[in-house]
Every structure is written in structure tokens, then in C-alpha cells.
Structure 1
């Protein structure tokens, strides 16, 4: 199936393993747990103050799990989300359906996941009154942002598996695409990642990581930039 196969993770939620990158899309210590901890709790919930609309960019959309969770929690906070997701190698529908997220996720979240997975690329697609998804099947390295974002989920494969994604130049591109007080969150707290983020202009926080990882990173674009 497109060089991908479904593998279980410790919290009962599945993920995909990529033969191309010799890596899983989510943590084997818990795919759903990792996504909620890194991207929702440490990212989405951190930037909601005084916001009614949020522009989110995900680098490495993969299984669409992060997007579905964001769509699920958005109405709980009364926030409308415009969600752009970059993915160079989108898994085919057959592979995504084989994950079983339709039954693993809470029913409302599962319904949103199905709609996000089915959404076509290249144009914004309304998924709910609170959430619109815009899929970009492009190479992030050559991609040039044409708008500003409040929040970036950086969910590329790990620096050891995909080092070109984690460069200073790429982080500078993302820094410039953020609004003042914008945030980038990622599961990796590797020293080189933190160093490159700082050199790109970010104020870097090291936070407690999800199960199986001591730390994660939240990086801010402070107003003086």
C-alpha cells in the first residue's frame, strides 16, 4: 500500500509506518496521545486568547489526525479555524481508511476526520461551520507562503530521517509567515532543532514531552520581531 503500513501504538490508536523514510507518522508510545499533547494542548490552546478566528498551518499533514483533532476542539473554544496542510507524499485514501481512525476516534472527531481525508486538494473545503481545510500537495522546501499564520504544527519526520526539513532557512520562512505572537510547536526537542529555531528568530521553550519523550518544543514569534 504505497510503501506504508498500519502499526499499533501504546494507547491503542494506530499510525502509519513509511518505508520511504523508515519512520512512523506518530509516536509508537501513543499516536493520539502525542497529537493531543504536542499540537492541541501545547499549541492550539496556547494561542487562543482574544481570538475568534485562527489560521493554522501544518507541515507534514500525513494521516490528517492533527487536523481532525483541531476541527473537533475548535467549537469547544468558540474559534473558527482556517487550516492549511502541506504534504508532499499524501497517503492514498485506501491507506488512510486502513488506519481505522473511523472507529478509534470519538464519533464526532471520526466524522470530521472522514470529511478531512475526503477533501480535495488545491482549494479551501468547508468541513464544519468551525473548520475549513486547504490541502497543499507541494514540496515544503520550495513552497513560498502567501499568507500569515497564527499557529504552525511542524510535524515532519524526525531530523535524523528528514534533516533537510529542519534547516535554519526553513524555520526562517516559517518565522516570517507567522503573525506577531504566533507559535510553532513540534515534538522534537533535539539540540540542533532548538538552535536552528533560535537562529531563525524564535523564542524557544522546552516543554514536557508526550509519553516516550522527555521534552518537546514550543517556539514563539515575540512582538519585538
Structure 2
């Protein structure tokens, strides 16, 4: 399946995509790259690892493969830290090569630009099959909706779906329950959204919810932690 998408440039110079069908962009207009680093790397992967350094491999589930930015940044982190990561991502509408091949994420930070070939590799990897992308990064990306997806146990969830106002079906309490059920004890759920209903639902599902500073241009974001077994 293919949707009409347009490449746009956000305030930090990195690309994002605009989806006319939903009148929505894939990332914040204030900076796609900065948003992913802040929400999913800093307050997601790095925070989880700081408290769980003995757990390997790290299992990550991403809702919304999208541009592949989160996956690529995670691969870079895994290679730099020499920590194995198993990455599962779902996406019902994969991008065509004429779109993803133009994205400029690998040029934003010169210190990691040598990892650029992996960005193309992540996109070129076959859908619905597992793939060894690098020494420390294995991934599986599935063409499937969250409602229909088979979820594997995860330590971290990158919940990067479109906004609740655009795709409310992905933010229902029932769907959140499905995702949370697959999170390992001590695992975290992290998202750019800070909607009150989201936080109330997460709390009712037994998660410990934190409201954290958002990325540039956004006041707040949400992280929720699943209680560890006694």
C-alpha cells in the first residue's frame, strides 16, 4: 500500500514527511532529528539502559517504522556501545525508495555520518523477515497494523504513531493494553504525546507514568514504566 507523502525540512535542518491524507507530519516541525534523539534515544533507550545494564540483548518494539530514523539511531547506539539490540518495528504503509533515499538524516551529525550505509540497508531489508543489519543490531519489520500485529516481549516500546487526534484507533485503552502486556517487567513505554487521557489510561493499566520535558517546540512528553516482579 502506498500513500502520498511529501518531503519537508524541519527547523533543525532534518527532513520529515508530510501526509496530506491526514494533514499530519511524521515528526515535529521544530526538528525531526532532535525529536527522535530526545524522545526515543535520551528518554527511551539510554534511560532504560542506565538502569538495566546487565540485560542483553535489549528488545525494542517500535510502533511506526516510518522514515526509519529511530531504527537507524538505535543501530548507531548499539554499534557505538557494543550492546546487542533486537528491534521489531511495524508499519502498514512502507515508504517507496524514491522517498527514503532522499532523506538527509545521515548528514545531520557528522560524528555518526560513517554509519550512513546502514540507513539504506535498514530500508532495503526485506519486510516480514528477520535481518542481521550489523554486529550488534538485528531487526524485523512487519507490514501490519498494530491491531493485527503479533507482539514479542519487549524491554522498550517506541510508541511513534501519528497523533491521537489523527489516528485515535491506535491510542485506545484496549490497544495500549495489548502493547503493555508484551512489555517485560521493568520495561518502559515512551512517546512524544503528553495527552491527559493517555496518561490516565497508562496508569489504569498498572504503569508508573512520568511527564517529562518534551523536545524543542513541545513542552512535555510521556514515559511509563512497568513494575518489576517482586
- TM-score computed with the length of structure 2 as normaliser: 0.93
Equivalent in the alignment of 1:135? 141
Give 1:224 deviation, angstroms: 4.7
2: CA distance, partners of 1:51 / 1:112: 25
Pick from 104, 108, 117 the counterpart of residue 114 of structure 2.
Answer: 108
Q: Deviations over 1:70-99 (max 9, x none)?
A: 000113323101101110111111111122
Unmatched tracts of structure 2, length 5 or more: none
Maintained 8 Å contact 1:102/1:114: no
Matched, 1:97 2:101: yes
Aligned pair partner of 1:72 in 76, 91, 104: 76
Tell me the SS of whatever aligns to 2:161: coil
RMSD: 1.5
- Select which of 46, 49, 54 maps to 1:50: 54
Q: Give me the whole-angstrom Cα distance separating, in 1, the residues matched to 2:27 and 2:21.
A: 15
Deviation string, structure 1 residues 12-45 (Cα, Å, up to 9, x no partner): 1010111222111111101000000000010001
The answer as to whether partners of 2:33 and 2:105 remain within 8 angstroms in 1 is no
Partner of 2:202: 197
Q: Is 1:151 aligned to residue 156 of structure 2?
A: yes
The answer to whether the 8 Å contact 1:72/1:108 transfers is no
Give unpaired runs (5+ residues) of structure 1: none
Structure 2 partner of 1:16: 17
Query: Structure 1 residue runs of 4+, over 6 Å off?
Result: none
Corresponding residue of 1:34: 35
The answer (yes or no) to whether the contact 1:184–1:220 under 8 Å persists in 2 is yes
Asked if the contact 1:52/1:78 (under 8 Å) is kept, the reply is no
CA-CA distance at 1:142 after TM superposition: 2.2
Deviation digits for residues 28-72 of structure 1 (CA, Å, limit 9, x no counterpart): 101000000000010001122222311110001100000000000
Do the aligned partners of 1:3 and 1:19 also contact (CA within 8 Å) in 2?
A: yes
